[in-house]
Chains A and B, each alone.
Chain A
Amino acid sequence: MSMHELTLRQIASGLANKDFSATELTQSLLARIQAVDPQLNSFITVTEELALSQAKSADERRAAGENGALLGAPIAHKDLFCTRNVLTSCASKILSGFKAPYDATVVEKLAAAGTVTLGKLNMDEFAMGSANESSHFGPVKNPWDLTRVPGGSSGGSAAAVAARLIPAATGTDTGGSIRQPAALTNLTGLKPTYGRVSRWGMIAYASSLDQGGPLARNAEDCALLLQAMAGFDPKDSTSVDQPLDDYLAALSQPLAGLRIGLPREYFGAGLDARIGEKVLGVVEELKKLGATVKEISLPNMQHAIPAYYVIAPAEASSNLSRFDGVRFGYRCENPVNLEDLYKRSRGEGFGTEVKRRIMVGTYALSAGYYDAYYIKAQQIRRLIKNDFVAAFNEVDLIIGPTTPNLAWKIGEKNADPVSAYLEDIYTITANLAGIPGLSMPAGFVDGLPVGVQLLAPYFQEARLLNVAHQYQQVTEWHTQAPTGF
């Protein structure tokens, strides 16, 4: 097996057994990225020097007796995690030349665990999108079909891991931005409970919804990464001071007695029936492993998209105000006065989708509209949360499709942003409620991956990883690689 085909867990044992060094592994993957990524456009920056120095240090630590599970593990970060002295662009022109002066907590924690950062990954601009088409650095292609989107906004993370350029990556999920690209590229991706992973250094899109998490080839690797990423951070006031579970240890729990709920709203109009069948296939498999299944209802799901597209843009309109051309990033040429500096720096620096959401959000927060939009959306959010709380009184886990459709053609939904917004329908409720969600491979339709989504109560990431892992012990979907990669 070539080094690039190894999972994080296999890399850990390869390094432990001295089959190869972190430096050899890093060199090999850097060469592969250089050779392969031009087809995908998944990296914005390749941090060769940093990677080699981190690999060297990992080898030294190992030689000194350390044996951490991630020591020497190559990864890459979505380009909205601040990385010290490395371009951190959010895939936006407005952050042209912005080298962050500090590391995000996630970056710092993973580096402390010994990971090797190979680069910064492409994404939708400011994480706004479901197709990775809004990047200033150009669209990312889906390795399963280069004419199709990889999903978004963590599209670079998904494409790079799916194409075996890296074994795992960080992503962020505001409305499905980890789970949906994972589903469209045959990966396992986890959005943790809001507050489980620090947001310090993660450039905000919608602060009350954003959450960082891992994308990898299987649940076990996600568990490895999450263990190092998660935890209370005094620098993030919304991070939760609650002990971490041992995610790896939880993987082997048997599923006997697991109560699964299938929300009828997840299987209604708009769902590609072939995806629905794959999801039911997963449910059948879980039944064999001892789970029981019942139908449940999440009656307020229909309001989730409108609520999300008020709250997220409202927060974004404020979060993105700091990109004003004054202190960092892009500034227009020869501003004639302050207003001109603001208008042109922002007008030229932001892309279309970002501007659209800033305008929607500004409108929703305006005097006279605030109650009708923002307050109403927050009320809906509460109802959605209540739906989940009620459902989790009856079941341990909720299962449904991650996406209503398969990966679509690049450019296909550009003319109609709302049709792209509707792709988030099954994922955004978890963000609105703050609960954890995971997407894992559930099979293929027309040669394209299908994802199944698992949702659990607050802070039960261990349960999600456990169920996914148990499923992956008896199925092969997650081991499939795209042809040519």
Chain B
Amino acid sequence: MQWETVIGLEIHAQLSTQSKIFSASATTFGAEPNTQASLVDLGMPGTLPVLNAEAVRMACKFGLAIDAHIAPHNIFARKNYFYPDLPKGYQTSQMDHPIVGKGHLDISLEDGTVKRIGITRAHLEEDAGKSLHEDFHGMSGIDLNRAGTPLLEIVSEPDIRSAKEAVAYVKAIHALVRYLGICDGNMAEGSLRCDCNVSVRPKGQAEFGTRAEIKNVNSFRFIEKAINHEVQRQIELIEDGGQVVQETRLYDPNKDQTRSMRSKEEANDYRYFPCPDLLPVVIEQSFLDEVRASLPELPVQKRERFEAQFGLSAYDATVLAASREMADYFEAVNSVCGDAKLAANWVMGELSSLLNKDNLEIDQSPVSAEQLGGMILRIKDNTISGKIAKMVFEALAAGEGATADEVIEKKGLKQVTDSGAIEAMLDEVLAANAEQVEQYRASDEAKRGKMFGFFVGQAMKASKGKANPGQVNELLKKKLES
């Protein structure tokens, strides 16, 4: 049977406010346990929450960026359950009246198409602390530094159809929150965490299958692996005559498998009710207007501008706009070389694979935008061919020169455009391959086309790649036809 995967994601983005959502404690990662926990964070009797306005502003930024309705009247509710790192015995969250309503985000898929993913809602809530189970001789330690850190929980519609789409969506959210400056996106530190709701159904069936929720998958790679594993598990289960049960599962990256954490029956009744210590949050239009005016150019707008202004393809524009840093780099290259197509090709091609290979972020690139732009100028003015440019690029990456010109000069990579010299070189090549020349001349048009490439290859080889390819083509044709 053909199966279709249905995925919805819940992403928790830690907002990069200076202080916690309901207290004045700092939110810095990695401090000594319990040094960033105030009376409020400790859940001391008699303490009360006061909402951090900056967290509200950040949530509004996100809402506006995904074209969502911002609730002018939204309400904090208590989610009640007992856990040692949840000091009050409830998490202050939003339930029936979230701050951000329905919106959407466009993601680019590998085949170059763009897909729109619905976002059901996004709401503000406080993070819990951490339980530490090591180094306490059979007991557990509690660190409440993280308790009260503001989170924006972003809930997608079940619009995602594969693990790859899921990753593309999380990457798009990741890029967006970083564009907006509302989350540092550091997944290793838990600043962006993902719960995946996964189900399968026979292709063509309208109803959804029973879903399992995989908790806390914390890297792009694990998201893909966890989902693929879970999909496989569910399909095998059903094909063996079993049934998927609604449950929460944990992904174990070491074993690459998911295991059951709790079933629906074991799930808590959270007894949500409006938090009586906090008044409803009222958001006025003037505030929203002000937030809107403060928004940076967003990935979607940037993508559209890249298409319109530079004539880039939708795919190229999407990839380049996906991260603010990459977009800035691309624009810097373009401003030097004045050729957006070439700039895009180089940034997405050689530069990206270089960065991937060495696991670097673009702001750590060994080749600066100015260097790359300068090199592209030399391609454009025929000083070097594209092929030679790759050598120049590698040399720049290896620090073998401050500019492309310096590398070209030092290594003698300047392209040969003197047609006399090229002709002489071609004559030698043809003489050395007299038999092939005979065959060529005896062949029909179709066959000649194929053989022509052979001569070009030989010629480029003979010139060590430095001969201008356009001229080589032109002169070679002339000589063979004559």
Contacts and interface: CB of A to CB of B under 8 A. Distances in A.
Among B50, B84, B269, B273, the most chain A Cβ lie within 10 Å of the Cβ of B273
Interface string A148-190: 0000000000000000000000000000000000000000000
Interface residues of B, number: 28
B60 to A, nearest CB: 19
Interface string A221-245: 0000000000000111110000000
A241 to B, nearest CB: 12
> Binding site of A, secondary structure by majority: helix, strand, loop or mixed?
loop
Interface stretch (A320-328, A444-452, A465-473): A320-328
B109 interface: no
> Binding site of B, secondary structure by majority: helix, strand, loop or mixed?
loop
Nearest to A206: B276
B84 A374 contact: no
Nearest to B79: A318
B241 interface: no
A223 to B, nearest CB: 26
B88 to A, nearest CB: 5
Given A324-B82, A365-B273, A366-B271, A82 B50 contact: no
B45 A100 contact: yes
B87 A200 contact: no
A318 B50 contact: no
Interface in B33-65: 39, 42-51
B90 A318 contact: yes
B271 A338 contact: no
B33 to A, nearest CB: 14
A202 B46 contact: yes
Contacts of B273: 314-315, 318, 365, 370, 374
A206 B89 CA distance: 15
Contacts of B142: 326-327
B45 A203 contact: yes
A204 interface: yes
B48 A322 contact: no
Given A82-B46, A100-B46, A104-B46, A318 B271 contact: yes
A237 B50 contact: yes
B89 A324 contact: yes
A300 interface: no
B89 A318 contact: yes
B13 to A, nearest CB: 24
Contacts of B42: 327
Contacts of B269: 366-367
A201 interface: yes
Interface in A390-428: none
B279 A322 contact: no
A322 B88 contact: yes
A267 interface: no
Interface string A363-375: 0011100100010
A266 B381 CA distance: 97
The list of the 8 closest CB pairs from A to B, nearest first, reads: A321-B89, A365-B271, A207-B276, A208-B276, A201-B46, A203-B45, A322-B43, A82-B46
21 contacts: A82-B46, A88-B46, A100-B45, A102-B44, A200-B46, A200-B48, A201-B47, A203-B45, A203-B46, A206-B276, A237-B277, A315-B273, A317-B271, A318-B89, A318-B90, A318-B271, A321-B80, A321-B88, A327-B142, A366-B271, A367-B271
